[in-house]
Amino acid sequence: MSSELINVSDLNQYAYCPRRYWYLHFYDTQGRNYERIEGKTTHENKSTRGDWVNELYLESEQLGLKGKIDVLDIDDAQPVPVERKRAESGEYYRSDELQLAGYCLLLEEHIDEPVREGAIYLYETDQRMHVPITEDHRETVRQQVNAIQAMSIDSIPSLTDNPKKCEACSTREYCMPEETVMLEPEQAEGTGFEEVISE
Amino acid sequence: MKAAEGMFDESVVFVTKQGTQVRTDGGRIVVWDVDGDDGELASYPTEKLDTINVFGGVNFSTPFVAEANEHGIVLNYFTQNGQYRGSFVPERNTIAEVRRAQYALSEQDELEIAKAMIAGKIRNARTLLSRKGVHGTDVLKDLGVRAENASSKDDLRGTEGEAAERYFDRLDETLTDGWTFEKRTKRPPEDHINSLLSLTYVMVKNEVLSGLRQYNLDPFLGVLHADRHGRPSLALDLQEEFRPLFCDSLVTRLVNRGVITHDDFTADNHLADDPFKTYLSKFDEYMQEEFVHPHFDYSVSRRKAIRQQVILLRKAITDEMDSYHALTFSR
Ligand code: SF4
């Protein structure tokens, strides 16, 4: 249906919880545009080191993706996209890896050479972690791009399969996952909330 | 379970001091004493607020109004003794998809939602009476069942009217000596108790209205109350289920505990200045008071419970949920 280009950062949102992405995309009622907020935090630290390129914007019809690579390390023979994250836990998640994979795919199309790794830099620990991009990452990115493009306002994604994620979710206030299943238990079917109601 | 952290509880501010100005100052909203020389009277983080209610001679600086617009803060204007005058509503509150779903509701969808609200109101009316030791309310029970099975909006309105009459007849018994409902009259308030009820309905209606706006529903398009120009029909509809336990019970509490006495009223049945301030602070306290939610197993403030009902209403309208679930207390 829609061939709109998907923001690479949306891959991360979607992987976290499709319903959350759906809210932010179609119903951002708090008026807080998360892209803008993310933009702010990632831009406040600009590096000017000679062998780094900051903010390389890329898009590809082929991949259905667009996005801005924060930092591109061109120190070595092969350029490495670096994604900077704030993560209080000091860890990154699978959804962060997917976002990085999205950048790698965009970059490899741009330079017409395979890009097999990226890096995640964590502010909290000042650590730079090397992330190999696997075939599995690539396939998941492609699937998610399709799924996101096929999303519509009328098809409401079910609740997450991992209720723990809700605790840190900014849309929880109006997603009301536990409240929803308490009032309409059938909404728990096939989600991580099945256990919550059987408790 | 734990309630989601919200910004509901401290999200509403009341400014009653005359001769003050509301300003912005470095990301905060400041109430400044312009006429006197007390300087800054209070300040709040802009991000947290969604509603400011001002009474009488309070004005706003121009930068503040721009800020309110940007942050989606609704301003409600009241006269010094609490008569509603109007509102400033920020531009951004128009999420097309929510409105689209709301406008697309069928007559039947509207009836289903309205039935839940009215049946909830009747249920809560019985609960209030029984909490106060008034027995023999079976007729309300029957009317509740009738509301649930109403076949049309007219039918539902008829049932609602009958239930309200029965309920107010009995509510009299819950009042301490020297107070009586006589007959529930609207405007002008013919007696003190009706004046207090009307005031409380306006205050709660504004809580509901702010919630509806925050979650992008059109407050003027109702499911039961007829849409009339300038009348927030949806807010009036949603308010129904809160009337007995969030409005009437506050009024009976204030009267029975002697917080408000007959001497607190002016000749035209309004609260005098000082009692009015007392009333507002009691009202705000009451909205922040917590209770164990009857459907979810955690404590919430009344204010937050109202916002949650707005969200549940939105979910029923946008088909995220199968039906609207009113806030009902069975005991
Ligand atoms: S609260 Fe939970 S289910 Fe709802 S959007 Fe967030 S993560 Fe998904």
Whether the pLDDT of residue A46 is over 80: the answer is: no
Asked if the Cβ–Cβ distance from A27 to B98 is below 8 Å, we say yes
pLDDT in tens, B95-113: 777 888 999 999 999 999 9
ipTM: 0.83
Q: Is the dihedral of CA B91, B97, B98, B100 positive or negative?
A: positive
Q: Which residue out of B7, B102, B315 would a mutagenesis test of the A interface target, given it has the greatest number of A Cβ atoms within 10 Å?
A: B315
Task: Indicate whether B238 pLDDT > 90.
Answer: yes
Closest CA of chain A from B104, distance in Å: 13
Task: Flag whether residue B319 sits within 8 Å of chain A, measured between CB atoms.
Answer: yes
Q: Is A180 in the B-facing interface, judged by CB distances under 8 Å?
A: yes
d(CA B142, CA B119): 10
CA B285 to chain centre: 14
Q: Which of B95, B319, B321 sits opposite A27 (nearest CB)?
A: B95
Distance of alpha carbon B238 from alpha carbon B199, whole angstroms: 17
**A59 CB contacts (<8 Å, ≥6 apart)?**
A5, A65, A66, A67, A106
Q: Looking at ligand 1, which residue's alpha carbon is closest to its atom 5?
A: A20
Kindly report whether the peptide bond that precedes residue B189 is cis, defined as omega within 30 degrees of 0. Answer: no
pLDDT, tens digit (0-9, with 9 covering 90-100), for B154-204: 999 999 999 999 999 898 889 888 888 766 655 555 689 989 999 999 999
| HEC per residue, chain B | CCCCCCCCCCCEEEECCCCEEEEEECCEEEEEECCCCCEEEEEEEHHHCCEEEEECCEEECHHHHHHHHHHCCEEEEECCCCCEEEEECCCCCCCHHHHHHHHCCCHHHHHHHHHHHHHHHHHHHHHHHHHCCCCCCHHHHHHHHHHHCCCCHHHHHHHHHHHHHHHHHHHHHHCCCCCCCCCCCCCCCCCHHHHHHHHHHHHHHHHHHHHHHHCCCCCCCCCCCCCCCCCCHHHHHHHHHHHHHHHHHHHHHHHHCCCCCHHHECCCCCECHHHHHHHHHHHHHHHHCEEECCCCCCEEEHHHHHHHHHHHHHHHHCCCCCCCCCCCCCC
Of A160 and B97, the one with more pLDDT: A160
> From the CA of B70, how many Å to the nearest CA of chain A?
9
**Range with the poorest average pLDDT among A38-42, A66-70, B313-317:** A38-42
- At A44, the pLDDT band (50, 70, 90 cuts) reads very low
Q: Is A181 in the pocket of ligand 1 (CB under 6 A)?
A: no
Between A29, A156, A180, which is nearest B215 by CB? Answer: A29
The C-alpha of B12 sits at a distance from chain A's nearest C-alpha, in angstroms, of 16
Q: Which residue has the tokens 């309409």?
A: A184
Q: Which residues of B touch A176 (CB under 8 A)?
A: 4, 308, 311-312, 315
* Ligand 1: residue whose CA is nearest its atom 4: A175
- Residue with tokens 């035209």, as numbered in its chain: B268
Please state, for a pLDDT cut of 70, what percent of chain B lies above it: 94
Check residue B326 and give its pLDDT: 98
**Rounded to whole angstroms, how far apart are CA atoms A98 and A9?**
9
Instruction: Give the lowest-confidence range in A189-193, B61-65, B92-96, B168-172.
Output: B92-96
Contact B321 A184 (CB under 8 A): yes
pLDDT value for B79: 86
- Which residues in chain B have Cβ-Cβ distances shorter than 8 Å to A184? 321-323
pLDDT in tens, B4-44: 765 566 788 889 889 999 999 988 999 999 888 888 999 99
For residue A175 and ligand 1, the question of a CB distance below 6 A is answered with yes
